Structure 1
Amino acid sequence: MDDSPTAQTHSRIYTAPRTDVSQNQGKFRIHFNFPGRAVPNHDDHGYGPLATVVESFMDPGTLIRMHQHRNEEIISWVPDGVMRHDDRQGNELLTDAENLMVMSAGSGFWHAEETLADDPPLRMLQIFVRPHSLDLEPGIQHEPIPDPAVNEWRHLFGPEGTDAPLSVRNDVHFYDCHLNAGATVTLPSRSGWHTYLYVFEGAIEVGEEPVGYTESALVTGDSDVTVAAAEDSIVVAFAINPDAPITRQGTIGR
């Protein structure tokens, strides 16, 4: 963890190693990434409306039986492979590299997840956003997303009323980027907001700070910060309003 200022004026970069908070249920394994833990003496494991980013693994032929979530927005980002979803509202959905799912649990939402025996091994992110209010109307969004453009950020969800393909009920914008080795992009940012970044594949430098495979960084401040790929990489980023009103009664993402 590094809490030193970078050379880029008005911005500060905090880096964090791969999480050691995990659960192993055999064919289903998860690692919790807590954005708030990147900042020394921060009193919240989450950071504003972003509660946690969970790296999830499902072996072929895995069933996670019907269970309930409440008071959290759960986003399933699947860069490769398939995640099969069904729920008590009658939806049977397949989330993959071409489709994104946002499950708004609100007052209560029951669902199950599955991979079939002939599906490939699955590694995905499940993102938990704290909603702005308790016991909202539950629902689900499952939409096709634009094809990724190499070395460009792809905007995938944002607060309600924005131009992102899907929405969540608080102030978080989500982006991904496929970077070629040697490429440089500017980290997504918004005035007064902060940005959390996670390296799903590869290794990068954020400003002058190295961030490796499954490591993360939190960037505060308004100046532009560069992301440079040390090797072919897949990176996700969250622009977060740290002052957004939040609830903390989610089933997982409290």
Structure 2
Amino acid sequence: MTDGPSARPQSRIHTAPRTDVSQDQGGFRTHFNFPGRMVPAHDDHGYGPLATVVESFMDPGTHIPMHQHRDEEIISWVPGGVMRHDDRRGNDLVTDSEHLLVMNAGRGFWHAEATLADDPPLRMLQIFVRPRRLGLDPGIQHEPIPDPVAGEWRHLFGPEDGDAPLFVRNAVDCYDCRLAAGETTDLPSRPGWDTYCYVFEGAVELGDESLGHTESALVTDGTATLTASADATLVAFVIDPDAPVTRQGTIGR
């Protein structure tokens, strides 16, 4: 998916520390990462179709009551523990390290989230993608994902009609990777698109930049190589920055 070294254009790397935009609702806490804020003079907190990547915490025995989302795609990535979902369509779903949940909210989708008292503490990412237009049909996807392979990028979701296990209705591909200390890999990339990388665990060297736990980078105009300076869990988004978007989602505006 990456070009060879001789064909690789010169890339630009924008980095950000852990976000200071957070909300504390007791048993449910969130930290909002805005990839667009990493680029100087960029007039949008999101970056193309990627509105925000939210680090979410739920204590055991937490219940988030039924609520509605509109005109956004919400992806729940759970690397450990469980997140329990129910909705007005009668779905009762458990998302864990072996499954991915995508709510294509469209015109409107009602759901609730919970952890049971004997569930472990939950730390996950909730990813908000802007759809290509307003008023799309609502739906939900809850599917098993391939087993991770150490040191390799795993494709999680992508645009409709692609080869990812689940889809969103805009031009974003998402991957994750578990990289052992000392190992090196190229970020996923695609000609004309840019890549946002979030360090969920561990630390990496990306080009000449160092990224630690919960820090992130946006790579434009090419790709970049990273090396784990500690065992790392990474999530990367390959984004078409010029894709048409709507900015009227409930949260991911």
TM-score bucket of the superposed structures, by smaller chain? over 0.9
1:149-160 correspondence to structure 2 within 5 Å:
149-160=149-160
Change (3 A) 1:132 1:9: closer
CA distance in 1, matches of 2:141, 2:36: 27
Counterpart in 2 of 1:95? 95
Deviation at 1:33, TM superposition (A): 0.2
Counterpart in 2 of 1:5? none
Superposition TM-score, scaled by structure 1 size: 0.96
Letter in 1 for 2:74: I
Counterpart in 2 of 1:203? 203
Counterpart in 2 of 1:63? 63
Deviation at 1:205, TM superposition (A): 1.0
Letter in 2 for 1:244: A
Q: Which moved more, 1:140-149 or 1:204-213?
A: 204-213
Deviation at 1:115, TM superposition (A): 0.1
CA distance in 1, matches of 2:149, 2:166: 18
Count of matched residue positions in the alignment of Structure 1 and Structure 2 = 246
Counterpart in 1 of 2:4? none
Counterpart in 2 of 1:177? 177
Aligned with 1:203: secondary structure? strand
Aligned with 1:36: secondary structure? helix
- For residues 77-136 of structure 1, give each alpha carbon's deviation from its aligned partner in whole angstroms, at most 9, with x where no partner exists: 000000000000000000000000000110000000000000000000000000001010
Deviation at 1:180, TM superposition (A): 0.2
Deviation at 1:9, TM superposition (A): 4.9
Aligned with 1:174: secondary structure? strand
> After TM superposition, what 4+ stretches of structure 1 lie above 2 angstroms from structure 2?
none
CA distance in 1, matches of 2:88, 2:9: 51
Counterpart in 1 of 2:251? 252
CA distance in 1, matches of 2:202, 2:41: 29
CA distance in 2, matches of 1:87, 1:202: 35
- For residues 54-92 of structure 1, give each alpha carbon's deviation from its aligned partner in whole angstroms, at most 9, with x where no partner exists: 000000000000000000000000000000000000000
Letter in 2 for 1:177: C
Counterpart in 2 of 1:217? 217
Deviation at 1:161, TM superposition (A): 0.3
Change (3 A) 1:164 1:9: closer
Aligned with 2:230: secondary structure? coil
CA distance in 1, matches of 2:45, 2:212: 21
Letter in 2 for 1:44: D
CA distance in 2, matches of 1:136, 1:41: 32
CA distance in 1, matches of 2:185, 2:208: 13
Superposition TM-score, scaled by structure 2 size: 0.96
Aligned with 1:192: secondary structure? coil
Letter in 1 for 2:91: N
Letter in 1 for 2:77: W
Counterpart in 1 of 2:3? none
Between the aligned residues of both structures, percent identity stands at 74
* Structure 1: runs of 5+ lacking an equivalent: 1-7
CA distance in 2, matches of 1:93, 1:135: 25
Letter in 2 for 1:152: E
Letter in 2 for 1:127: I
Question: Does residue 16 of the first structure (1) align with residue 16 of the second (2)?
Answer: yes
CA distance in 2, matches of 1:102, 1:9: 33
Counterpart in 2 of 1:235? 234
Letter in 1 for 2:26: G
CA distance in 2, matches of 1:13, 1:152: 22
CA distance in 1, matches of 2:207, 2:147: 27
